[in-house]
Structure 1
């Protein structure tokens, strides 16, 4: 975990620089690809995933290390060829785990947050799950375990494989010639993120596009069919923690409401979007049947709320970076408490972005927890040792955040979701 934290201290600034470069390039090309609240939501989602990983909230049913010890047919040294094999093997695992996430109702909850943005840009690549806690795809690693690829090699290759999926989340790069036949390119991945019927559940590969061509899930981006991004059943919130569980909550409701015990059991493993007939008739969902009728979610923030949301993002990002930099000096309990505070903090300000009434209780909880942590630590997790007065600044920030939430909600009221009912159709 220390290696992961150290890697992120370099990777995150690099990602942010690329996002800024993309925005500068878009403006020079006179294209609008980043929308403030959506970008804040995406970056906040990235922070929640980082915090989850730092808390160690990942459970492996069967560890790769155990598996390779038990089933390896060969004993191989960690040469460059082993790293190549491991990378290709990880990509095979990535294709099939990705495919299962798209195709099975319960597993879609692990992945919906990544598709939830109605934009497509580098920031949306950071929308990563906090709900995928249990590692359920261990069986996909059996082929590379059979070959005897060492666990330490897989541990090194895994983050490289993940970070290599960042760059192709952009609309600014067109088709890339011969690379279209080998790698996943921005064109391929635009297809994957689209809700057009012809593009749904296509181009599931992560690095090498030949998996899709081999297993029948490839679709070229068509000039006559511009991609429309998001999910068919819109999430209508900027709060990444709510997005992470919105599909699961829908499944729980359907399983509870249906009269059929068989449907209560099978709903979890049916194709994504499947619903019991009695529930679909009585409680129809609204979704975009025609992608081109999509109206994007907009909470209509005032200039004050817009500016305050950006300030919240900067402050909370600085705190997450503090956790990463000081991780080696923290006890596990300190990491857990800091991360829990940050989760509450992100929930609070992204709820305020929605103008949701729950934002104020969340802010009160954050204020109380924050003051409690200052009292317990005798400061703000040792930050005052490097920045004089840091504890006072954090205290002022907590109070200001609570006050601003109260003032903004009092003045602006509840958000009116910008959706046209005539363009929504029922799922039954």
Structure 2
């Protein structure tokens, strides 16, 4: 818990710096690759994911160390060649987990958040799941476990493998010549994130593109088919918590509603998107038929509300960094309470971004929870008083002020518009590929 939090103290500023650099380059090129609220939703999703990971809220059915100790044929020491072998093994495992996440209904729920953005930029790389409660990658690491690759090597290689997947989520880099045949490039991954029929469920590789070419899932980016991004059943929300469980909720509803008892059990293991015929007919869901003529999710928010949403994110981010820096002193139980409060904070300000009629209620709950935590700790906030004597008092004032500001925006922008949850903007077919 503490060691991963320390790594994130350095990794998060680095990722955000690259995102800002991408925004500056896009502005310099006159390219439209970033929308404010979409990026804010992506960053908010990133916060929920790192909070979950730092708190260790994933059930490990079988640990790699256990697997290696049982099936390892030899014992090998940690040399550079072993680290390379571990990296390749992680990439092989990542390909299959990724492919299965696109292929099986219940596994898609843990991955939909990553594809939910209707843009493609470094921000959407941060859309990572909080709904993957069970770790399954270890089962696909059996080949390297068989070879005796030590667990500590996997522990070092795994975050490097993950972080190395960040850079290629961009439209600002064109095709990369010889590298197109070796590694996953932005061009390959644009295909993967596209909803064009010819691109669906292609290019699952994470670092080395060879897996797609070997296993028949490779698709080159075509000049006459510019990628259109998102998911074929658009999520229609900026709220990362809702996105994380949207597909699961659909599966639960479909399993409950169908009169086919067999389908109630098989729906979970059917191909992604499959629904029982009777439910499909009685309860149709929105699906994009023409990727070049659909409406992007774009609620009409005033500049002031957008600025307030960014302020909410910034304050939540600062509170998260305080958690990561003090996690040892806070303790496991306190850290879980703190983390859950932060996730609910993200849920709450995202509700206002969506112009939801429940935005005030969620913010009221958040305010009361925050004040209750301060009260229960005798006027403190997880040790904040030691760093800043007036900190807990200021934080309590912020919780109350945030509720009042939410009420103001609700009255001026949500209620006055008749609870209009969203307005959409028509998107024309892309006509020109962005090249570096």
Does TM, scored on the shorter chain, surpass 0.5?
yes
Aligned to 2:155: 155
Contact 1:54–1:335 (CA under 8 A) maintained in structure 2: no
Distance 1:54 1:24 in 2: 31
Distance 1:399 1:116 in 2: 32
Q: How far apart are residue 359 of structure 1 and its match? A: 1.6
Q: How far apart are residue 343 of structure 1 and its match? A: 1.1
Distance 2:374 2:425 in 1: 47
SS in 2 for 1:326: helix
Contact 1:228–1:291 (CA under 8 A) maintained in structure 2: yes
Q: How far apart are residue 80 of structure 1 and its match? A: 0.7
Q: How far apart are residue 107 of structure 1 and its match? A: 0.5
Trace 1:172-251 onto structure 2 (pairs within 5 A). 172-251=172-251
Aligned to 1:401: 402
Distance 1:205 1:31 in 2: 27
Trace 1:29-428 onto structure 2 (pairs within 5 A). 29-377=29-377, 378-413=379-414, 414-419=419-424
Q: Point out the more displaced range, 4-13 or 281-290.
A: 281-290
How many residue pairs were aligned?
A: 422
Contact 2:237–2:354 (CA under 8 A) maintained in structure 1: yes
Q: How far apart are residue 416 of structure 1 and its match? A: 4.1
Contact 1:295–1:418 (CA under 8 A) maintained in structure 2: no
Distance 2:137 2:82 in 1: 22
Contact 2:296–2:425 (CA under 8 A) maintained in structure 1: no
Superposed CA deviations along residues 248-276 of structure 1, whole A, max 9, x for unmatched, are: 01111111111000111111000001111
Distance 1:220 1:237 in 2: 30
TM-score, structure 1 length as denominator?
0.96
Contact 2:202–2:219 (CA under 8 A) maintained in structure 1: yes
TM-score, structure 2 length as denominator?
0.95
Contact 1:241–1:347 (CA under 8 A) maintained in structure 2: yes
Contact 1:188–1:219 (CA under 8 A) maintained in structure 2: yes
SS in 2 for 1:296: strand
Aligned to 2:431: none
Superposed CA deviations along residues 165-218 of structure 1, whole A, max 9, x for unmatched, are: 000000001111111111100010000000000000001000000100000000
Distance 1:145 1:16 in 2: 35
Aligned to 1:426: none
| Structural RMSD (CA) | 1.3
Q: How far apart are residue 88 of structure 1 and its match? A: 0.1
- Gaps spanning 5+ residues in structure 2: where? 429-436
Contact 2:298–2:425 (CA under 8 A) maintained in structure 1: no
Superposed CA deviations along residues 334-360 of structure 1, whole A, max 9, x for unmatched, are: 101111110111100001100112221
Aligned to 2:434: none
